[in-house]
Each structure stands twice: as structure tokens, then as C-alpha cells.
Amino acid sequence: MRLVLLAESYLAVVLGKDVKGNVEYGPFKTDFSNWLKGKGNNFAFKSFETYGATGSFGGKDPNQKVVKTPVIFIHGNADSALDTGALMSQGWTAAIPHFLEAGYTFAELYGLTYGARNISLAADTKMSCEWIKGHREFVLNVLDYTAAPKVNIIGHSMGATIARSLAKGGLVEFPGEDHCDLGSPINDKIDVFIGVAGAHFGMCMCVTMPGKGSCDPTGGFWPGGTCGGELHRQCAQAAEGECRDMQYGDFLRSINNSPVQKEAGYVFSFFSHDDNVLGPHTMTWGRMTSIIPHEDDHMEYTKLDHFQMKEASAKAAIFAFENHKLPPKRQRGLQNTGLDLMDGHYEAAKPFVWPH
């Protein structure tokens, strides 16, 4: 199975082409949903009830044992746990087969849905304390349910930010909300964290839409203002080290400057130099926004867009989860996994424009 996010495939989705995998992948298994229901007011169970078959996955069959370290998947802004058939809402459907082929079962693979699942609302979407607290609770749910000593987490885009925040804990602030107390760090309960196509220092796209919720200077992905000239051009093209004192979003800075340096025992970032949301090389005022501070290593890709990265990096993620390091065959520079993981050709990503 390969993930194709070109215009032709979007048309196929719009015209009603069946989405494979959803029925067998979601929602939560009965054993897990019943377990969650018994917990009362639970973020994960609400997701299960709200979003239907494509809104969640994971859980054991009766008497099934958990063998591998559980993996928790956190999707990005306006996305879904599984493919809904809607534009840019493919979820983790195309990545999951790689995990199943590697011997994982749904007793060890968990994901849920948050937000609107509507790409036309993505720019106006604000980060929420409820989402971070809810995912933190979900991590603790999976630890309790599986009796595993630790979990692994992979987060895509906004999901990477949610994962980093829930792991480090502490007090954060969001516009229009009371103080958000995330509690003590739980990074000691996370073995490996992988951030895929994250925006840890903001994103240049926000310079062109400063009033949008996702770009809010307090709780959003605001990259900072000017660095001595034209806004959007210089944000993406500023030389490395030129704008190190940029006052990017408060929430992002609170994560990056937290006294808790690492989100897990091992931390990796995966990103594409052709990301059509974060921009060329993910450069944001002179630094790669997808690189996580204090990470152990990162993996660079080419000719993959923001959304293709979820499937394209799946095999490398599995290797990292199981070996605490990145694959040895990777080139030190750039890697186009469209050539060695899938049977399709990936064209260079085109600039992304928020749908209206």
C-alpha cells in the first residue's frame, strides 16, 4: 500500500473512491472501549463515541498479550486517526500496514481523533489545553491498560507539539483559557518519541496570516515578526544563525525552554526538505523548525510533502522504536524513501494553500 497525495488521488477521494483499511483498523477494540468506558469521563472514550470507525484504533482481543512496546500515534491539525476519505484527512491508515508487517498487533498500536477533521478550518484552529490533557490521559490509559512499563509516541505536525507538551508537563497558557496545568513530567514513561514534520519554532506561513488561530503568538505557531526586511521572503530565506533572537510563539518557547529537556529516553525528528506546509528545508528565520531541541538524531527526506511523511517514515520509525537509533543504511544527507519504501514516484511538493 502506498500513500498518494497528488491532485488525482484527491479527486478520486472526492468522487467516492473507497478508503481501504478503515473497517479492519478502527475503531477501538471492544475490550479497550469497555475498559475506557469504565473509567468514566474519559477523553479517549469521548473520541471513540464521537468520530466513529475512522476516529480511533487499538485494543486487545480477549486474553491477548502485549508483546511489543505500545505505540501511540498523534495526528496533526484537522487530520484524523484513520482515513475519512476527505481532503488531507488520511490519518495513519497508510502507515499502519508497515507496523503490522513488522509484527505489531492492535494490542500495541493506539490512536484517537481530536478536532474538526476539516482542512478548511485548519488555519483557524487554536491549540487547546483539553487536547494536550486528553492525550496525556490517553498515554496513561494505554500504560495502565497494557501494563507496559513504557510507550513509544509518534506525532505528526501539530501532533508532535501536543506530544512534546504532554511529556514535559508544567503550566502553559492559551488565549481565552484559564491556566493549563499539565502536571508533572511523564517523559520517564516514554521510551522513544518521534516528531514527524513538526514546527517547533513556528512556521513561516503564519507571517502571511497573523490573525489566524493556528498562528496565534501565544498558543499557536507564530514564528516571530521581521528580521530586518520583507516578512515572508526573509522568514523562509534568512541565513542560518541570522535571527536567533526571534520571539516566536509563547507556547512553543515554553516547550523548547522547559527545564525538562527531553520528551523521552530517545528523541528523533523526521522531516522533508520539500515540505509544502513548512516550506523549503523547513527553514524558519534561519533554523530548521522541524529539528527538536536536545534530540538524539534526525532523518532528512526529499520529494515528500508534509502529509506523505506519515507513511514514508513508518519503516524508519519502527527501526528507531526497536533499536533506539536510526536505520544504519540511511545516507548522512538526504533520503528519498519514495524510491526504497514504496513502488510509486513522488513529485516535488507544490506550495500548500489553505483550502477555503
- pLDDT of the residue at 153: 99
Among 99-108, 205-214, 261-270, 324-333, whose mean pLDDT is lowest?
324-333
CATH 3.50.50.60 fits 7-323, yes or no: no
- pLDDT of the residue at 239: 81
Residue-range domain boundaries for the chain = 7-323
CB 306 within 8 A of CB 56: no
Distance CA 41, CA 311 (A): 33
- pLDDT of the residue at 329: 56
- pLDDT of the residue at 173: 84
Q: Name residue 270's beta-bridge partners.
A: 196, 299
Taken in order 118, 123, 125, 127, the sign of the CA dihedral is: positive
Distance CA 92, CA 274 (A): 20
Phi, psi dihedral angles at 237 (to 5 degrees): -115, 0
Task: Reply yes or no on whether the pLDDT at 288 is more than 70.
Answer: yes
CB 107 within 8 A of CB 186: no
Q: What is the band of 338 on the pLDDT scale with cuts at 50, 70, 90?
A: very low
DSSP state of 79: -
The three three-digit cell numbers of residue 233, written as one number? 521572503
**To 10 degrees, the CA torsion angle through 143, 149, 155, 159?**
40
Q: Give the gyration radius of the chain's Cα atoms.
A: 19
Task: Reply yes or no on whether the pLDDT at 5 is more than 60.
Answer: no
The three three-digit cell numbers of residue 195, written as one number? 516528531
DSSP state of 65: P
Among 172-176, 187-191, 253-257, whose mean pLDDT is lowest?
172-176
- pLDDT of the residue at 236: 87
> What percentage of residues in the chain have a pLDDT greater than 70?
83
Task: Reply yes or no on whether the pLDDT at 326 is more than 90.
Answer: yes
Kindly give, in sequence order, each residue whose CB lies less than 8 Å from that of residue 355, ignoring residues fewer than 6 positions away: 87, 119, 120
Q: What is the band of 347 on the pLDDT scale with cuts at 50, 70, 90?
A: very low
Distance CA 116, CA 50 (A): 11
Distance CA 5, CA 9 (A): 6
CB 263 within 8 A of CB 193: yes
Nearest to 29 by CA among 120, 145, 119, 121: 145
Q: Say how many C-beta atoms besides its own lie within 10 A of residue 31's C-beta.
A: 16
Q: Helices marked H in the chain — which ranges?
A: 7-14, 22-25, 30-37, 43-51, 96-101, 129-146, 158-168, 231-237, 250-256, 309-312, 314-323
Is the full-model pTM beyond 0.75? yes
- pLDDT tens by residue, 152-170: 999 999 999 999 999 999 9
- pLDDT of the residue at 241: 77
Distance CA 114, CA 106 (A): 20
Q: What is the band of 108 on the pLDDT scale with cuts at 50, 70, 90?
A: very high
Distance CA 201, CA 187 (A): 21
- pLDDT of the residue at 228: 59
Distance CA 316, CA 310 (A): 11
The three three-digit cell numbers of residue 83, written as one number? 482515513
The three three-digit cell numbers of residue 135, written as one number? 492525550
